[in-house]
């Protein structure tokens, strides 16, 4: 059964998503730095410290460990989408559309 969706469009969308995540990473790094500094505020109540730590945990899970790495949840989700595209589907679509794209008849 032929694929009725475009593997190329999915791949290109993930390229754009990854580019946006890469643009966001420096801002998230800065937010992490500021939050870490906030932990050092004198006489900080424990309930505030817990919230700051939760925030830091969310950033770490999203973008990776102590510095931006491609192992965070966002990068893992992008990789998962790419890995879900059947092997050879992108190349097959390129071959099928090399002379122009046409609508399939059902």
Q: How do the domains of the chain map onto residue ranges?
A: 7-85
Instruction: Quick: pLDDT tens for 65-80.
Output: 655 555 688 888 999 9
Q: What is the pLDDT of residue 61?
A: 86
Residue 64, burial from CB neighbour count under 10 angstroms (0-12, 13-18, 19+): buried
- Distance of alpha carbon 25 from alpha carbon 87, whole angstroms: 30
Residues of the chain with pLDDT below 50 are: none
* Contact indicator for 61, 81 with CB cutoff of 8 Å: no
């Amino acid at each position: 059964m032929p694929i009725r969706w475009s593997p190329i469009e999915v791949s290109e969308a993930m390229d754009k998503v990854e580019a946006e995540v890469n643009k966001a990473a420096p801002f998230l790094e800065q937010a992490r730095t500021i939050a870490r500094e906030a932990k050092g505020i004198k006489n900080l109540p424990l309930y505030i410290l817990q919230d700051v730590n939760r925030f830091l945990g969310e950033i770490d899970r999203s973008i990776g460990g102590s510095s931006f790495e491609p192992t965070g949840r966002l990068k893992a989700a992008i990789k998962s989408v790419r890995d879900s595209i059947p092997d050879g589907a992108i190349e097959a679509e390129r071959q099928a559309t090399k002379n122009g794209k046409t609508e399939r008849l059902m």
